[in-house]
Structure formats: C-alpha cells, structure tokens
C-alpha cells in the first residue's frame, strides 16, 4: 500500500481530491467562524447546507443557469442565517438549541421539497474545471491546486479575505469586540445586534455556498442527506482552527486529505475493513479537537445572548 | 451620524429624572448638574441610584420622566453613540475593555478609520501617545490589554474617552480597584483635565475621596437627592450622615485579646490560577485564636486562589494547609469544613448561595445531612424551620418569609444569611473573602461587628479584602499580597495606607 501511495500519480490524485473536498468545509467553516467571532454559535450549518444544496440544484435543473443556482443557494443560506439571527439575537434563545432546531428544519425541508419537486435522483451539468493559465502547467502543484472549478478557487480566496476583514478593518475590529465583550462594544456606540445579524447572515450565506458546491459543483446531483454530516465537521473545524482563517484552512485541508486518502484506500480495494477507513477522518477530528483546543481561546461571549443589564 | 456637535460642553443639567425598574424606583425626580472645569462628586450607597442616573446620561437607559439640558438646550440622549458624539464619555466601574485586543485597537473600536476600509493603528498609536503625554496617562499603545495592570487598564479607559473628544467625563467608582498611589496618580490626571476645561462627574461612596477631589457634592439616597453642598463647606461626618440618614460608626473599638494557639497555618503554599499559571508562590502565614489577619492587595494577586486553596476548592500543588492541627492539604471541601472551617466566599451569588433556592434551603446547605436537621435519611422540616427562624432573627436577615428565593433579597441581607449560616457552626477558623463588597453601610457595620464578636469568641479569622479601610479597621495583623506572594506583614495598629499601598504595588520597603 505504501509503495502504491508513493507513486506520484496516486499522490497527486489524492491531494487534488483533497483540495476539492476541502471546499465545502472551507465555505461553511469560514462562515461559522465569522458568526462565532461575533459571539453566535450556529449549529444549523448542516441543515443550511442541505437546503441550499437542494434549492441551488433545483433552480439549476429548472433554469439551466448555474449562476442563478448559486444565487438562489446563497440567498437560501442567507435566509437560514436570518432565521437564526432573529431567534438567537433578537429573541435571545439558547443558541445551541436553536441551531439544532435550524438544522432539523433544513434537513426536513430539503427532503420534503425534494420529494415534492423531483422525487427521483436527477443530474445537472455542474461547474466545469477551469484550468488557471500557466499555473496549471506547474508540475504537481498545477494538478493539485489549479485545475478545479470556480467555486473551489473562491473558497480558497475567501481565506485571506476573511483574515483581512477580521484583522485589518474597522468592521473586523467591531466583530471581534462584539464577540469578546458586547457590553464594551455597546458603550462605544457599536450596534451589537447589527453586527451579530450581519455575521450570522454572512455565515448562513457561506453555508449556502458550501451546500451549493456539493450539489452543482462536486456531485452534480441531489440526493437525500447530501451533506453526510459535513456541516457538523465544519463547526468542529472552527474550534480546530482556533477561530482563525489560516487555522480553519489547515483543518479543512488536513481533514479532507485524510478523507481523500480513505476514499482512495477503498477504491483500490486495499484490505482494510471499509468501516475503519470511513471512520478515519472522524477519529482524527476528535483526537485533534481534544489536543488542539483550549476553552480559553474561544470568543469570550460565544453563545451568550446580549442584553443591556437593567437595574 | 447627523447630530451636529453643539460645541464644547460648558454645562449639563439633568432635571427631575425619574427611572423605574420592575419593583424599584431607581431615580425619583433627581436634579443634577455639572459645569466645565469642575469635579462634581455623586455620593451614595450601593443601590442609591447613582449608576442608573449616569447610565441615563450616557444613553444606556431612557428616563421615564425628566429632561437633560446641554449648554442650556434640552435634548434626548438615545444611545451611547449619541452621547459620545455630544462629547460625553464614561469610565465604567467594570472596565469595558477587550483583553485579547491591543490598547490601540481597544481605543479605536467603532470609529471610522482614516484609511477608509482598513484600520490605521499607527496613527491611533501616535494620537494615544500625545494624549498620554498631555494627561500623564502612560501606556504602551501596542501592548495587549490582558498584559496590563489594573491601573494601566483604567488609563486606557480614560484615553478611550479623550480620544473620542469627551468634554464631560463620568467616572463610576474609578478608585475601587486601585492602590492608594494609583489613586493619587488618577487624581493628578483628573486635576489636569479640570484645568483644561473638562467637566467631571465622580461617582463614589468613599468620603475621603469626595473631600480630596471634588468641588461640589450631590448626595443620593434611595433614588432621591438628599443634599448638595460645596465640598469646602462640609466634612466627612456630615456627608456620611446625609448618605446613610443617621450617624455612622466608622472606627471600631476592638477588645484587647492575647492571641492563643495557631488555628490556621499555611506553609509554603503553591497553587495555580485558572489559566494554569502560578498563582500562589510559597505563601506562608499563621492565624491564631482570637486574631483577625487581613490580606490586602489589588484584585487578582492570588487572594482568590489563596482562599480556594485553603478551603479545598483549588488543588494545592505544593506546601501544606493545617487547620487546628489537622493537615487538610488537598482534602475535599466537606473534610475542610468538618475540620472547623467556615467560609464566606467572594462570589456571593455564585458560591455563597444557590440563588434560586429559598432562604431555608440556603440556610442548611452544609448541615442538612446531619442531625438535628436530618432524621435518618429524611429532612426534619420542623427543626429546619426552627433553625432558620433562629438564624434570621439572630442575624437580622430581612426576608418576607423562609420560602422566599434568596435572589429576591438585597445584597446585604444575602450576606447576612451567609454569615448566619457560617458563624452558627461555631467555626475555629473563618475565611472571609470580600465580606462587605457591594453591601450597604448598615449591613457593613453589622458584618464588621459580628466579625469582631467572633474574634472575641476565639475564632481565627482570615479577612481577604480589597477595601483597605476595612482591612485597617479590623485586622490585628495585615499581610499584603502581590503577584502570588506575601510582600510583608504589618501590625494593624501601626499600618498606614501609604505603607500598604507600596507593598500592594510590589515595592518592598
């Protein structure tokens, strides 16, 4: 097995597949990270991804327009984010519970709409790979990074964008302030509610992009439970990445490369029980989380609703 | 953002301010005013309505009635953002800082940047340094706030307000966490600001500070103004009478007692903070029968960890704790209690009581499983009721009934209930952490009297307090903690605030 793995072709295959698989995690985890930085824990990522995966797929299927599909997928995610914001920011509901509720809503809704509208598995012509001139001809690196579709590139570009926004702009400063000490932000004239709405809605839109990528960028079809728990892993990756865009990138890549590896192991028919192969990435996540994360690093006001104290 | 700045603030008046909270009339027709170039002290007990009035001025609360006049023109302050635009700044009692951010970042949160969509921390840092030089507020703009000492954090708070162009500054109990020397530095800054034409509102319940810094004093009691005088026409005793409504006992006669055997002994004690850093570094001290030993120090120098290590709530990583000749190092809290310790924790609502529980349930938290309160495996409700009635009566706990949830009582009454529960167990050793923090003057007086009575009965008391006046009034000996070490031990009757202040700042004399 090791010999086979060391062949250049196999390695490139696994790494390129890892980059593709990292895309939904990146979208969803970066979005979730922004929400958490503002102090809102949204556990509805998985359900949001499913619903967006369906709406994006359906619109593309019906209209033939990928752009329209992406737009609707993102808007669906934004709407799910808005619901989360209303419940958790305005109504100050327990965030963990409302997020699980949102997830279940997305899960049920996407299944229902799928039954009502399509009923059977259908396929669309999804995004095609777009080779980046010059860069895609580089040995190894070209094949691993620069022969993917536009959504993959977008996901990776969003990493530095998220970093700049969070750490180099007044907006990012406000977001971090609200997530660490909403009272302090409030006394400085920052709208805690406004910032949290913004972040949770953006987070929802990015979960929407993650779902959209699954149905019209990766699989080119829609099936029940298309996310297979990816949204939950994305939440874990935020912790793994210590609420930092580069950390989220590292976590997403590590996780998806291991995932690509186990798929390769299965495809090659190597004699490891397949259940064990499937388990690998998840075991890795749990182990990494146990060692990588200390509570002290999370935004201090994470999952705490804000209210100006009365009396 | 359209509100135009109506020029420099020359005067501000609040007229007939009324603010109701469910069940409480926090401000009942309060008049208050401040002019440029003066310090106006707002004096009152906890719960008198000082903070509420100032939160109205800062736009955090809306008044139910009354009006605010700025430079003689009435206006409505709808939000902190608007207050800031008008030139009003507030230094909150609990600092409004974000520890993982730098000083400069904390200062510019919410402000538009000169570099449009990007932050400009360099420019902010220069401006901060200018302000720091002008007002004696030395602080490194690039340091992270979590690295700063408490006094420095307060300077950041003041810079935050000045950076936003505040003409009028509200300081809510700004000295509560400072050493005496830091208080002097703060006062120097405030005098400088006064000279430069700032209007300052100084909220406090400490009388000597009012006398030291203010030009005028307004005294609030139960939400009403009970007096307004020029500081030079009054004295501390008169202000205390106004604040409390009667004469106040401010010094205690302690009966002379010769301390007996050592009841609490701490030897080379080491423990870690919540973050895993060393919090206690080989702390040794003894408390004898009939003695009160005070632990002074600025908050966060290991006092909480010391109390928790002694009481079995925090693992001891080195050294020993001995209570009445029994080694209780790393014993469970139950074992430590059984050895003869009583504990008044600093977190009254979190560690002292279960706030949803009723008065009687809280009264028996430690003794409910032992006779006479328990009969076999059942509670004896009649005896519990008798026991609770006795505690309520003996310790003057004001409560509508034994069934009332403790969270509905005032801070002073909750503290009296804790005191009753702890002292009724006739402790050999008492650890009292911040026993009067946030408690009104009446209850403070009562608690102090009880602690002195306990001393007469032979209890060895370790009194941990950030209130230097309290430490000096009660202690036979005073140990000062700084960064997890005992800097020195002074006799209570020989200690001066200056000497203690230096030790609190880590300067060994």
Kindly state the tokens that stand for A151: 């959504």
What b/e sequence results for A228-246 when a residue is b if at least 16 CB atoms lie within 10 Å of its CB, and e otherwise? Answer: eebbbbbbbbbbbbbbbbe
Query: Over the stretch A2-56, which tens digit does the pLDDT of each residue have?
Result: 677 667 678 888 999 999 999 999 999 999 999 999 999 999 999 999 999 999 9
B100, B102, B124, B222: best mutation site toward chain A, by most A Cβ within 10 Å? B100
Look up residue A102 and give its two tokens: 């949102």
Hey, what long-range contacts does B277-282 have (CB within 8 A, 24 or more apart)? B278/B484, B279/B305, B279/B484, B280/B305, B280/B306, B280/B309, B280/B484, B281/B483, B281/B484, B281/B485, B282/B318, B282/B319, B282/B485
Query: Residue B185 in contact with residue B335, Cβ under 8 Å?
Result: no
pLDDT in tens, A45-60: 999 999 999 999 999 9
A176 to chain B, any CB pair closer than 8 A? The answer is yes
| Partner residue opposite A187 with nearest CB, options B26, B92, B118 | B92
Q: Nearest chain A residue to B53 by CA: give it.
A: A311
Q: Does residue A310 register a pLDDT over 80?
A: no
* Residue B262 in this model has a pLDDT that exceeds 70: yes
The answer to whether A240 and A247 have CB atoms below 8 angstroms apart is yes
Contact list in A for residue B61 (CB cut-off 8 A) is 308, 310
d(CA A35, CA B337): 45
Q: Compute the mean pLDDT over every residue in chain B, rounded to the nearest whole number.
A: 89
Residue A174: its pLDDT value, please?
95
Is the preceding peptide bond at B372 cis, omega within 30 degrees of 0?
Answer: yes
A193 touches chain B (CB under 8 A): no
Three-class SS of residue A57?
helix
Q: Would you call A170 and B58 a contact, using CB atoms and an 8 Å cutoff?
A: no
Mean pLDDT, rounded, of chain A: 91
Kindly list the residues of chain B whose beta carbon comes within 8 Å of any beta carbon in chain A: 21-22, 24, 26, 52, 58, 60-61, 79-82, 84, 90, 92, 95-101, 105, 108-113, 117-119, 160, 275
Whether A174 contacts chain B with CB within 8 A: yes
Residues of A in contact with B111 (CB under 8 A): 170
In CATH, what is the architecture of B249-340+427-509?
A: 3-Layer(aba) Sandwich (3.40)
B404, containing H or E segment: none
Distance CA B436, CA B465 (A): 9
> Residue B250's pLDDT band (boundaries 50, 70, 90)?
low
What is the predicted pLDDT for the residue at B249?
66
A177 shares contact with chain B (CB less than 8 Å): yes
d(CA B28, CA B45): 15
Q: Do B100 and A176 touch (CB under 8 A)?
A: yes
Please tell me the predicted confidence (pLDDT) of residue B2: 34
| H helix intervals, chain A | 2-6, 8-37, 45-63, 66-85, 95-117, 141-145, 150-168, 170-180, 182-187, 192-213, 230-240, 245-267, 274-292
pLDDT over 70 at B387, yes or no: yes
Sorting pLDDT into bands at 50, 70 and 90, what band is A311?
very low
Q: What b/e sequence results for B437-457 when a residue is b if at least 16 CB atoms lie within 10 Å of its CB, and e otherwise?
A: bbbbbebbbbbbebbbebbee
- Does residue A309 belong to the interface with chain B, where contact is any CB pair within 8 Å? no
B205 close to B243: Cβ distance less than 8 angstroms: yes
Lowest-pLDDT range of A179-183, B135-139, B209-213: B135-139
Closest CA to B73 of B134, B135, B4: B4
pLDDT, residue B306, reads: 96
Helices (H), B76-177: 80-86, 103-108, 121-135, 150-163
pLDDT at A294: 64
A131, A146 in Cβ contact below 8 A? Answer: yes
Residue in B80, B95, B109 nearest the CB of A173: B109
The DSSP code for A295 is G
Whether residue B79 and residue A185 make contact (CB cut-off 8 A), yes or no, is no
Q: What is the pLDDT of residues A81-99, one digit of tens each?
A: 999 999 999 999 999 999 9
**Please, what CATH class does the domain formed by B11-244 belong to?**
alpha beta
Is A189 within 8 Å of B79 when comparing Cβ atoms? yes
B93-113 pLDDT, tens digit each: 888 999 999 999 999 998 888
How many CA atoms within 13 Å lie on the side-chain side of A278? Answer: 5
Interface contact B96-A311, CB threshold 8 A: no
pLDDT at A302 over 60: yes
Q: Do B84 and A311 touch (CB under 8 A)?
A: no
Question: What per-residue confidence (pLDDT) applies to B6?
Answer: 47
Domains defined along chain A, listed by start: 2-118+135-294 (1.10.3470)
Highest-pLDDT range among A209-218, B141-150, B238-247, B412-421: A209-218
Q: Are the CB atoms for B416 and B396 separated by under 8 Å?
A: yes
Query: A189 vs B90: CB contact, 8 Å cut-off?
Result: no
Taking the domains of chain B in order of start, what are their residue ranges? 11-244, 249-340+427-509, 352-426
Taking phi over 0 as left and psi of -120 to 50 as alpha, with beta for the rest, B315 belongs to beta
pTM of the predicted model as reported, rounded to 2 decimal places: 0.80
When pLDDT is averaged across residues B253-273 and rounded to a whole number, the result is: 91
In contact, B313 and B333? CB cutoff 8 Å: yes
CA distance A305 to chain B (A): 17
Distance of residue B497 Cα from the nearest chain A Cα, in angstroms? 33
Q: Point out the residue among B80, B84, B118 whose CB comes nearest to the CB of A169.
A: B118
* Per-residue pLDDT at A296 exceeds 60: no
B500–chain A nearest CA distance, Å: 32
Size of interface A-B (CB pairs under 8 A): 79
Residue closest to B410 by CA, chosen among B64, B93, B24 = B24
Q: Over range B331-357, report the average pLDDT.
A: 90
pLDDT for A254-287, tens place per residue?
989 988 988 888 888 777 787 887 888 788 878 8
Which residues on chain B are in Cβ contact (under 8 Å) with A172?
119
* Residues in chain A closer than 8 A to B22 (CB atoms): 311
Between B81, B96, B109, which is nearest A183 by CB? B96
Chain B interface, best mutation among A189, A191, A242, A300, by max B CB count within 10 A: A189
pLDDT tens-digit series, residues B55-76: 999 999 999 999 999 999 999 9
> Residue B22 above 90 pLDDT?
no
Nearest beta carbon to residue B110 from set A181, A190, A296: A190
**What's the CA gap between A168 and A193, in Å, rounded?**
22
**Would strands B316-323 and B262-272 be described as parallel, antiparallel, or unpaired?**
antiparallel
Q: What percent of chain B has pLDDT over 90?
A: 59
The yes-or-no answer to whether B11-244 and B249-340+427-509 have a common fold is yes
**Model ipTM?**
0.84
Q: With 90 as the cut, is the pLDDT of residue A105 above it?
A: yes
Q: Cβ–Cβ of B109/A183 closer than 8 Å? A: no
CA distances from A50 to A15, A147, A300, B310, B311 (A): 26, 26, 30, 54, 52
Cα A91 to Cα A12, A69, A102, A301, A306, distances in angstroms: 49, 32, 15, 17, 10
The more confidently predicted of residues B41 and B257 is B41
Picking from B81, B109, B156 by the largest number of A CB atoms within 10 A of its own CB, the best residue to mutate is B109
The residue with greater pLDDT, B350 or B264, is: B264
User: Which residue in chain B has the smallest CA separation from A189?
Assistant: B81
Residue A183 C-alpha, separation from nearest chain B C-alpha, in angstroms:
7
- Work out the burial of residue B368: count CB atoms within 10 Å of its CB; fewer than 13 is exposed, 13-18 middle, 19 or more buried: middle
From first CA to last CA, the distance across chain B in angstroms is 54
């Amino acid at each position: 097995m090791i010999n086979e793995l060391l062949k250049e072709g196999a390695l490139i295959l696994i790494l390129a597949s890892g980059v593709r698989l990292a895309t939904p995690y990146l979208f969803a985890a970066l979005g979730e990270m922004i929400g958490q930085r503002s102090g809102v824990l949204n556990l509805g990522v998985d359900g949001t991804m499913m619903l967006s995966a369906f709406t994006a797929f359906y619109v593309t299927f019906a209209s033939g327009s990928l752009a329209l599909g992406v737009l609707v997928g993102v808007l669906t995610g934004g709407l799910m984010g808005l619901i989360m914001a209303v419940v958790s920011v305005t109504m100050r509901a327990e965030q963990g519970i409302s997020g699980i509720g949102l997830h279940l809503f997305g899960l049920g809704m996407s299944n229902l709409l799928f039954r009502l509208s399509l009923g059977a598995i259908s396929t669309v012509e999804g995004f095609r790979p777009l080779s980046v001139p010059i860069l895609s001809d580089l040995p190894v690196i070209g094949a691993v990074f620069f022969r993917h579709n536009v959504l993959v590139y977008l996901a990776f570009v969003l990493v530095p964008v998220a970093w700049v926004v969070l750490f180099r702009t007044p907006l990012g400063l406000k977001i971090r302030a609200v997530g660490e000490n909403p009272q302090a932000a409030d006394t400085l004239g920052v709208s805690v509610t406004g910032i949290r709405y913004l972040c949770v809605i953006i987070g929802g839109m990015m979960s929407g992009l993650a779902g959209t990528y699954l149905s019209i960028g990766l699989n080119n079809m829609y099936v029940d439970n298309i996310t297979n728990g990816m949204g939950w892993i994305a939440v874990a990756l935020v912790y793994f990445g210590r609420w930092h865009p580069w950390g989220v990138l590292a976590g997403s890549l590590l996780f998806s490369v291991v995932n690509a590896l186990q798929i390769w192991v299965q495809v090659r028919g190597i004699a490891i029980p397949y259940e064990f192969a499937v388990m690998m990435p998840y075991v890795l996540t749990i182990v990494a989380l146990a060692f990588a994360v200390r509570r002290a690093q999370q935004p201090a006001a994470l999952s705490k609703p804000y209210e100006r104290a009365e009396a | 953002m359209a509100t135009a700045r109506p020029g420099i603030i020359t005067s501000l008046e609040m007229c007939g301010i009324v603010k109701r909270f469910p069940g409480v009339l926090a401000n009942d027709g309060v008049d208050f005013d401040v002019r440029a170039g003066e310090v106006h002290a707002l004096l009152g007990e906890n719960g008198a309505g000082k903070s509420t009035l100032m939160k109205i001025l800062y736009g955090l609360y809306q008044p139910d009635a009354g009006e605010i006049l700025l430079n003689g023109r009435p206006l409505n302050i709808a939000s902190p953002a608007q207050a800031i635009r008008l030139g009003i700044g507030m230094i909150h009692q609990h600092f409004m800082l974000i520890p993982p951010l730098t000083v400069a970042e904390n200062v510019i949160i919410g402000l538009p940047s000169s570099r449009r969509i990007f932050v400009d921390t360099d420019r902010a840092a220069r401006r901060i340094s200018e302000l720091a030089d002008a007002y004696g507020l030395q602080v490194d703009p690039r340091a992270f706030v979590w690295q700063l000492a408490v006094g420095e954090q307060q300077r950041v708070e003041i810079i935050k307000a000045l950076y936003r162009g505040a003409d009028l500054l509200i300081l809510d109990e700004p000295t509560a966490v400072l050493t005496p020397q830091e208080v002097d530095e703060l006062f120097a800054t405030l005098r400088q600001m006064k000279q430069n034409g700032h209007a300052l509102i100084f909220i406090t319940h400490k009388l000597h500070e009012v006398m030291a810094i203010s030009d005028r004093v307004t005294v609030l009691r139960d939400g009403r103004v009970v007096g307004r005088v020029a500081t030079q026409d009054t004295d501390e005793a008169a202000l205390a009478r106004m604040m409390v409504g009667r004469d106040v006992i401010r010094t205690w006669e302690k009966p002379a007692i010769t301390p007996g055997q050592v009841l609490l002994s701490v030897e080379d004690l080491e423990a870690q903070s919540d973050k895993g850093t060393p919090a206690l570094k080989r702390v040794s001290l003894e408390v004898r029968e009939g003695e009160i030993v005070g632990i002074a120090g600025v908050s966060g120098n290991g006092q909480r960890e010391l109390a928790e290590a002694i009481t079995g709530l925090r693992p001891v990583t080195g050294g020993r704790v001995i209570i009445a000749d029994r080694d209780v190092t790393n014993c469970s809290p139950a074992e430590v209690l059984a050895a003869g310790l009583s504990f008044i924790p600093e977190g009254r609502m979190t560690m002292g009581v279960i706030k949803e529980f009723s008065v009687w349930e809280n009264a028996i938290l430690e003794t409910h499983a032992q006779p006479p309160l328990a009969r076999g495996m059942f509670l004896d409700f009649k005896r519990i009721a008798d026991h609770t009635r006795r505690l309520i009566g003996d310790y003057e706990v004001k409560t509508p009934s034994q069934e009332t949830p403790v969270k509905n009582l005032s801070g002073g009454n909750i503290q009296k209930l804790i005191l009753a529960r702890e002292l009724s167990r006739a402790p050999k050793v008492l650890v009292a952490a911040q026993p009067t923090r946030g408690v009104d003057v009446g209850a403070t007086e009562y608690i102090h009297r009880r602690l002195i009575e306990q001393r007469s009965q032979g209890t060895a008391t370790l009194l941990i307090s950030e209130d230097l006046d309290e430490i000096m009034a009660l202690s036979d000996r005073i140990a000062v903690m700084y960064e997890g070490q005992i800097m020195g031990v002074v006799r209570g009757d020989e200690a001066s605030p200056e000497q203690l202040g230096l030790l609190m700042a880590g300067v060994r004399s």
